[in-house]
């Protein structure tokens, strides 16, 4: 009798920890207390003018209000048994925690996408073509600067738009995955979810676009140009809570964390319109 050996490699085509939208935002550590925190936001700035000698100078002042940011909790739960924990290989509990983390990544990225989609702005209509894409990114970059007085550095796209961008070409010659400088408008390829596109934007691909809010895979709200300083993601470490149930020998595992997204300048995110 020849036993069938089993590898410790786990095949998982259902989940991973990609968070394209969150990766494109500025990041800070979440405050340690409270389910809401506040950020001061300037609403009126002092003025300076060209004043003639001995002329009256108009008084001005600095005013601010507070942006209230709610803290959200994200929780996952799994019930296992003492037999599985005690008598299985250590890879079992590691795989369980890893997949809970994958689920955490998915739901938090979708939460970020839905929040930004609801509060951001859109450009005018541009077709899903190489020309339309360049028009959108340049319009959106300028609109983000106008709204936030900061530069848009990142663009986050849905998988469908990722495919479109890789296929954009000039009479058959690829534009965004070309090796020759005369053809290269950026670096977008099938081997990475990150790259760069004209006009100098860092590209991120998020599977959450098309699955959260009113976003789509290749239509309206399928791409967003972001000034990362306009939107900030705050996050706590992950926590686990294990409860042993003596009556049946099960172990109830809670995996959770806290996060918040601050719309410091909502229109610093500019979505496409097709």
Each residue's pLDDT tens digit, 67-103: 999 999 999 999 999 998 888 877 788 889 999 999 9
Q: Establish if 205 belongs to a structural domain.
A: yes
Whole-number average pLDDT of the chain:
93
Residue 7 pLDDT exceeds 80? no
Within a domain: 55? no
Mean pLDDT of 30-54: 95
**pLDDT value at 46 more than 90:** yes
The model's pLDDT over 242-255, given as tens digits with 9 standing for 90+, comes to 999 999 999 999 99
pLDDT at site 178: 65
Cα 137 to chain centroid distance, Å, stands at 18
| pLDDT above 90: residue 40 | yes
Residue 183 pLDDT > 70: no
Q: Is residue 168 part of a domain?
A: yes
Residue 251 lies in a domain: yes
In a domain, 266, yes or no: yes
Whether 33 shows a pLDDT value over 90: the answer reads yes
Collapsed DSSP state (helix, strand, coil) of residue 171: coil
CB 46 within 8 A of CB 80: no
Number of domains present in the structure of the chain: 1
28: CB partners within 8 A, 6+ apart: 232, 233, 234
Between 53 and 5, residue with greater pLDDT: 53
Q: What is the pLDDT of residue 182?
A: 58
Assigned domain for 74 exists: yes
In this predicted structure, what is the pLDDT of residue 72?
98
Q: List strand residue ranges (DSSP E) for the chain, in order.
A: 26-29, 36-44, 63-70, 72-81, 121-125, 154-157, 169-170, 173-174, 186-187, 194-197, 201-205, 223-226, 231-235, 239-245, 250-263, 269-273
- pLDDT at residue 180, rounded to an integer: 56
Single out the residue of 14, 204, 40 nearest to residue 116, CA to CA.
204
Mark 231-255 as b/e (b = at least 16 C-beta within 10 Å).
bbbbbbeeeeeeeeeeeeebbebeb
Cα–Cα distance between 136 and 154 in angstroms, integer?
13
Q: What is the share, in percent, of the chain residues with pLDDT greater than 70?
A: 97
Q: Taking 60 as the threshold, does the pLDDT of residue 186 lie above it?
A: yes
Q: Could you tell me the CA-to-CA distances from 226 to 23, 168, 265 in Å, in that order?
A: 11, 22, 11
For residue 43, being part of any structural domain is answered with no
Query: Is residue 217 domain-resident?
Result: yes
Nearest to 148 by CA among 53, 265, 243: 265
Residue ranges making up the domain that contains 139: 20-36+69-273
Helix, strand, or coil (residue 29): strand
């Amino acid at each position: 009798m020849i036993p069938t050996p089993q590898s410790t490699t786990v095949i998982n085509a259902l989940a991973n920890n990609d968070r394209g939208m969150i990766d494109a935002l500025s990041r800070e550590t979440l405050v340690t207390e409270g389910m809401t925190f506040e950020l001061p936001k300037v609403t009126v700035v002092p003025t300076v003018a060209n004043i003639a000698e001995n002329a009256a100078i108009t008084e001005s002042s600095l005013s601010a209000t507070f942006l209230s940011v709610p803290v959200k909790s994200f929780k996952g739960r799994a019930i296992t048994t003492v037999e599985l924990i005690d008598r299985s290989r250590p890879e079992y509990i590691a795989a369980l925690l890893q997949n809970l983390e994958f689920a955490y990544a998915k739901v938090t990225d979708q939460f970020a996408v839905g929040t930004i989609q609801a509060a951001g702005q859109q450009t005018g209509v541009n077709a899903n073509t190489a020309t339309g894409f360049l028009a959108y990114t340049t319009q959106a970059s300028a609109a983000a600067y106008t709204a936030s007085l900061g530069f848009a550095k990142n663009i986050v796209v849905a998988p469908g738009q990722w495919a479109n961008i890789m296929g954009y070409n000039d009479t058959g010659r690829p534009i965004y995955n070309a090796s020759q400088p005369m053809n290269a408008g950026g670096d977008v390829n099938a081997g990475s979810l990150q790259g760069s596109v004209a006009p100098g934007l860092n590209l991120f691909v998020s599977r959450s676009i098309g699955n959260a809010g009113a976003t789509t895979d290749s239509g309206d709200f399928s791409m967003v140009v972001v000034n990362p300083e306009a939107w900030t993601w705050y996050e706590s470490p992950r926590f686990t809570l294990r409860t042993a149930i003596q009556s049946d020998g099960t172990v109830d595992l809670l995996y959770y964390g806290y996060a918040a997204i601050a719309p410091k300048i909502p229109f610093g995110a500019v979505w496409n319109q097709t």
